[in-house]
Structure 1
Amino acid sequence: MTPTRSAESADRSGPPGSRGLGAQLERHQVMIYLVAIGAGVALGALLPGAAPTLEVAVEPAIAALLLVTFHGIPLRRIGAALRDGRFLLSLLAVNFLVVPLIVLLITRPLTDSPELLTGALLVLLAPCIDYVIVFTALAGGAQDRLLAATPLLMLAQLLALPALVPLLSGGAALGMIEPGPFVQAFGLLIVLPLVAAALLQRFAPRLDLSAAMVPLMVGVLVTVVASQTPRVLDAGASLLPLVPVYVAFLVLAVGGGIAVSRAVRLETASARALTFSGATRNSLVVLPLALAMPSPLVPAAVVTQTLVELLGMVVLVRVLPRLLRTPRADAPRADVHEP
C-alpha cells in the first residue's frame, strides 16, 4: 500500500531489521489505524481532562509525521512537480469549483441550524495541506506533486474562504476568516518539516526513517481523536445531522476527483493525489477559527468532521488504489506499486 522506494532514495536504506519491521507494520497498517482511532475515542471519553494537554501535542505530532513523509520524497522532484500545469489547474478546479458545488448541495439540510452550517462550511471548503500528503503516499499517489502545491492551496483557500463561507451560509459567518492560523500552520506543518527533511537528505543520505511512519501515524490518530472526542461527546445528539453530510461529502468528493482526473487524463499517481486532495479537509487548521466563534457547536462541528474523515481516509487508502489502478503499460515508469 505504501510507495516503493525509488532508486534515488534506496541508498538511504537502513539496517535490514528496520526495513523488515517497517514492512510488517505497513502490511497491517489499516487495521492498526482503525485500532488507533478506537483507542483515541476511548481515551478521550475516559479521560476528558487530558484533552487540553493532548491538543497541544497535535501539531508537533503531525509535524513529526510530515518530516518522515517528506524525507521519503526525493525533494529535487518538487521543482518538476511545480511545472505540471495540468495537475495544478485540476487541483484548483476540484477544490474551488467542484467541492463548493458539492458543499452547497449537501449542506442544505443544515440551513435551520446556523452553528452547524457555519462549522460544516468552514471545514469542508478548506483543502488539507498537511496529512493529506501522508495518506496520498500510503495510497501510492504523487505526494511530491501535492507537496509542491501546498503553498498554492494555502494561498487559494485564504483568499476563497472569506467569500465562500459567508456566501454559502447566508452571511452568518461574515468577517470570521483570519490569516493567522493558516500562516502558523503552514510554517509549523510544512516549512519546518520540509527544511529538516532536506537537511537530513543532504547530510545523512543513508538514514532511513520509513519504519517510523506507521508508529507516528498511530500517534497522530490517537492524539487528534482523544483530544477532540470530549467536544463531540459534550455536544451530544445535536451533532448527528452532520454525520450523513460528512459521509456524503467524502463519497461525492472522491467521485468528483476521479471524474476530473479521468476527464483531464491524469496518470494514476497524480489522479490519486488529486482525489485525496478533494476529499481531505483542513480541519486542524480551521479549528482555531471555529473556537473563536461564540457557539461551542461550531468547533464541535469541525471536530466531528475530523473523526469522520480519519475513518474515511483509513478506508480510502485501501479502496482508492483499486478504483484508480496503474495500467500495465505504465508499470515500468511508475514510482509506486499497487497494494
Structure 2
Amino acid sequence: MPAQRPARPAGARLWATPAIVGGAILVGSVIGGASPSAGDAMGSVVDALVITLVVALFVDVPLHRLPRTPDAWKVIGIAWSMNFLLAPLVAFLLTRVALPGHPAVQLGVMLYFLAPCTDWFLAFTRLSDGDTAVGATMLPINMVTQLLLFPVWITVLGGNAGIDVVGTIGTLLQWFVLPTAIAVVIRLGIALLPDAARARAAALPGRAVPWIVGAMVAGLFASHIGLLLANLPVFVAVLGCAVVFFAVMFIAAEWASRLAALSYPRSALLAMTTAARNAPLMIGLTSAALPHQPLVTTAIVVGMLVEFPHLLAVRHLLLRRRRGQHAGRRLRGTAAWGHP
C-alpha cells in the first residue's frame, strides 16, 4: 500500500524551488568564475546528484486509483493531448524560429517544453481552486509517458546536436534502471513503517528535491561558466521562447476548456498542467544521458526561470475569472428575487 503523504505546505514549497535555483546559479557562477579548479570540483559531483534526484522524484510520485467517471477521463484526455501532441508542435516551431544554428540549445528547450510537471502543478491547482483529485491521477500518467518519450525525443532531435544517439540511450537505460530499483526498495521500506513514521518518511524525498536540483545547477554553472557566458545572447532568446510557449499554451488551454464546456475546477486544472513543466526530472535525465552537452541542460534551467512567475500569473487570472463568475451569479440571483 503506498505511503500516505500529508498535505504539502504549498506556499513554502512553491517559493523554495525558484529561490534555491536562483541562488545556485549565482553561487555556481561566482565560484566557477573565481576559481575554475573549484568549479571543476563542484561539477564532479553532478553524476551522484543525478542518481539522488531521480530516486527522490520516483519515490515522491504518489500513486492513485484511476478515475471511473467519463467526465474525469475527458479532462485527462484533453490534458494529455495538449501536453504530448500540441506542446511538441509549438516547441518545434518556436525553437526553429528563435534559435536557428544552435542545435544543442534547441534540444534543451524542446526537452523542457515536452515534459509536463508531476509535482508542483498540483499545488498551484489547489491554490487556484482547481480539481486536485483528478489532477493527482495525472501524475503517474504524465511521469510514465514522458519517461517513455524521452529516448524517442533524444533519437529524433539529438542527431542535429551532434549526439551519439545509440550510446546515449544505452547510458540513459543504465541511469534509469538503478534509480528505479532504489526507489522501489525505498517505497517498499516506507510502506512497512508505522503510520506516523511513514508519513514523515514519505514527505522527505519531495522536500529534498529543490535542494538536490539547486546543488546540480550550482555544479553545472560552476564547471561551465565560461561556455555559458560565451552563449549569453542565446539564453536570452531561450527566455523569450519560454514566455511565448507559456502564453500559447495558456490560450490553448482556455480555448479547449470552453470548447469542452469544462467546469471551473477542471478548467483551472487544465491551465496548470499545461503550464508547469518537469524541469527537475529533465535536468536529471539530461545530465545523465548527455554529460558532455552542458548547453542542453542549461537551456532547461533557463526556461525554468520563467515558469514560476508564469504560474503565479495564471493563478491570478484564474482566480479573477472565478471571482467574476461568482459576482455574476450573485447579480443573477438578486435580479431573480427582484423579478418574481
Same fold (TM over 0.5): yes
1:151–1:195 distance in 2 versus 1, CA, 3 Å: farther
Do 1:127 and 1:281's aligned partners in 2 also have CA atoms closer than 8 Å?
Answer: no
Do 2:115 and 2:146's aligned partners in 1 also have CA atoms closer than 8 Å?
Answer: no
The equivalent of 1:282 in structure 2 is 282
The equivalent of 2:144 in structure 1 is 151
1:132–1:43 distance in 2 versus 1, CA, 3 Å: farther
**Aligned-partner Cα distance in 2 for 1:216–1:262:** 34
The equivalent of 2:90 in structure 1 is 98
Shift of 1:99: 1.4
**Aligned-partner Cα distance in 2 for 1:35–1:240:** 18
- SS of 2:237's partner is helix
Summarize deviations over 1:108-145 as a string: whole Å, max 9, x none. Answer: 2xx2xxxxx12112222225798932332443373541
**Aligned-partner Cα distance in 2 for 1:94–1:279:** 19
Q: Does residue 119 in structure 1 map to residue 104 in structure 2?
A: yes
What TM-score do the two structures reach when normalised by structure 2? 0.68
Summarize deviations over 1:134-182 as a string: whole Å, max 9, x none. Answer: 332443373541431222223334334433454xx4xx64863642344
State how 1:181-192 maps to structure 2 within 5 Å.
181-187=171-177
State how 1:1-339 maps to structure 2 within 5 Å.
13=6, 25-26=12-13, 29=16, 32-33=19-20, 34-45=22-33, 47-63=38-54, 65-66=56-57, 69-70=60-61, 73=62, 75-78=63-66, 84-108=76-100, 111=101, 117-127=102-112, 132-140=117-125, 142=135, 144-166=137-159, 169=160, 173=162, 176=165, 178-187=168-177, 193=183, 196-197=186-187, 200=190, 204-206=194-196, 207-209=198-200, 212=204, 215-235=207-227, 237-265=229-257, 267-277=267-277, 282-291=282-291, 299-325=293-319, 327=322
**Aligned-partner Cα distance in 2 for 1:12–1:205:** 10
Shift of 1:228: 0.4
The equivalent of 2:263 in structure 1 is none
**Aligned-partner Cα distance in 2 for 1:53–1:286:** 16
The equivalent of 2:330 in structure 1 is none
**Aligned-partner Cα distance in 2 for 1:328–1:199:** 45
RMSD: 4.2
Do 1:119 and 1:290's aligned partners in 2 also have CA atoms closer than 8 Å?
Answer: no
Q: Which has the higher helix share?
A: 2
Percent identity over the alignment is 15
Tell me whether 38-47 or 95-104 shows the greater mean CA deviation: 38-47
Do 2:32 and 2:221's aligned partners in 1 also have CA atoms closer than 8 Å?
Answer: yes
1:238–1:29 distance in 2 versus 1, CA, 3 Å: closer
Do 2:249 and 2:275's aligned partners in 1 also have CA atoms closer than 8 Å?
Answer: yes
1:129–1:248 distance in 2 versus 1, CA, 3 Å: closer
Do 2:56 and 2:205's aligned partners in 1 also have CA atoms closer than 8 Å?
Answer: yes
Shift of 1:254: 0.9
1:134–1:54 distance in 2 versus 1, CA, 3 Å: farther
Do 2:111 and 2:300's aligned partners in 1 also have CA atoms closer than 8 Å?
Answer: no
- Bigger radius of gyration: 2
**Aligned-partner Cα distance in 1 for 2:89–2:47:** 34
- Give unpaired runs (5+ residues) of structure 1: 1-8, 112-116, 293-298, 332-339
- SS of 1:276's partner is coil
- SS of 1:301's partner is helix
- Give unpaired runs (5+ residues) of structure 2: 127-134, 258-265, 327-340
Q: Given residue 274 of structure 2, which amino acid in structure 1 is its aligned partner?
A: L
Do 2:95 and 2:241's aligned partners in 1 also have CA atoms closer than 8 Å?
Answer: yes
**Aligned-partner Cα distance in 1 for 2:163–2:41:** 34
**Aligned-partner Cα distance in 1 for 2:325–2:49:** 38
